[in-house]
Homo-oligomer: A and B are copies of this chain.
């Protein structure tokens, strides 16, 4: 047993033990190919013997490569984000890149603060959600030449990347489906659109498509709800208290839809008999409601993986990956039904 083990070994210590210079140890550690095979092995053994752990800060300071990625998402308390981050992390971990996560609570000012902190930490790139941010946020990133990716959107700036889907198209898809199966009296319970460009775009797409199909904007009730079961339930209550009840409701998230269905149960409103309910996200809970939820699937897992691929790519490769619109898929289950015309 070595005395050395009790202290935190440094690169010089490894060099001493391996009988070579620090520079050589550094080369071995960084997989620099031009190192003699014998020396390389001796170094590796010495490092293992000493329980050597490189100092990331020193490394980052010297080389300006931190192997750190930052992420600012609204919250981890919503599966749609947690799932994306999960797969992003998994992909990055394969290449020993670590991820710092922070949350903004859907607040662009808080997002800016978090981005500042991430920049301070020396992250090489940053993953954001949506395409609306404080100008200062983007300016900071550009100025420091930190790569950034917008997710859950396909709208990018000239410089950043966007990996996600078209929220407006998603809204239109929902509208078209409900119209296709015969509904004409429609409503939407969107997420909170303030500070949330994705929620707003889905609403706009939905309303726009309905209008295109001859349903006046004024005839479409649009409410908003937090992404909580309770929120959906309360919104549905408000909706049902109105005079002109719709025959179908498009919800900005499956969570909201679950609350809507819950309300319907409690008030003996048949789903889809009296009212069709269409969700968004295709979370695992979409198969827990009774009836199972028809919904638009958001490829959250895939988004995380692809974002990881992008971040791991060289800047040359990135050019071809800067814009990625993932397909949306309508998953028809049992919460929606055609209506007689």
User: Does A24 count as interface, using CB distance less than 8 angstroms?
Assistant: no
User: Does A2 count as interface, using CB distance less than 8 angstroms?
Assistant: no
Is B79 in contact with A101, judged by CB distance below 8 angstroms? no
Nearest CB in chain B: distance from A33 CB, A: 22
Is B53 in contact with A119, judged by CB distance below 8 angstroms? yes
Inter-chain pairs besides A77-B82, A79-B79, 15 sampled, C-beta below 8 Å: A6-B143, A53-B119, A53-B120, A57-B60, A57-B66, A61-B61, A68-B121, A76-B82, A76-B86, A86-B103, A90-B103, A98-B102, A98-B117, A99-B100, A99-B102
Nearest CB in chain B: distance from A98 CB, A: 5
Contact mask A32-76 → B, CB, 8 Å, 1/0?
000000000000000000010111111011000010100000011
CA distance A209 to B93 in the complex (A): 41
Q: Which of A182-236 contact B (CB under 8 A)?
A: 228-229
Is B68 in contact with A77, judged by CB distance below 8 angstroms? no
Contacts of A90 in B (CB 8 A): 103
How many residues of chain A are within 8 Å of chain B by beta carbon?
A: 55
Is A101 in contact with B99, judged by CB distance below 8 angstroms? yes
User: Does A122 count as interface, using CB distance less than 8 angstroms?
Assistant: yes
User: Does A329 count as interface, using CB distance less than 8 angstroms?
Assistant: no
User: Does A116 count as interface, using CB distance less than 8 angstroms?
Assistant: yes
What are 9 of the A-B contact pairs (CB < 8 Å)? Answer: A51-B143, A53-B120, A54-B120, A76-B83, A76-B85, A77-B82, A93-B103, A98-B121, A100-B100
Is A77 in contact with B66, judged by CB distance below 8 angstroms? no
User: Does A287 count as interface, using CB distance less than 8 angstroms?
Assistant: yes
User: Does A241 count as interface, using CB distance less than 8 angstroms?
Assistant: no
Nearest CB in chain B to that of A118: its residue: B98
Is A93 in contact with B76, judged by CB distance below 8 angstroms? no
User: Does A284 count as interface, using CB distance less than 8 angstroms?
Assistant: yes
Q: Which of A282-326 contact B (CB under 8 A)?
A: 284-285, 287-290
**In the A-B complex, the 10 residue pairs with the closest CB atoms:** A76-B86, A57-B60, A82-B82, A57-B61, A57-B57, A56-B121, A76-B82, A77-B86, A288-B288, A290-B290
**A76-B76, A82-B82, A285-B285 in contact; A96/B117 too (CB < 8 A)?**
yes
Is A284 in contact with B99, judged by CB distance below 8 angstroms? no
Nearest CB in chain B: distance from A44 CB, A: 15
User: Does A144 count as interface, using CB distance less than 8 angstroms?
Assistant: yes
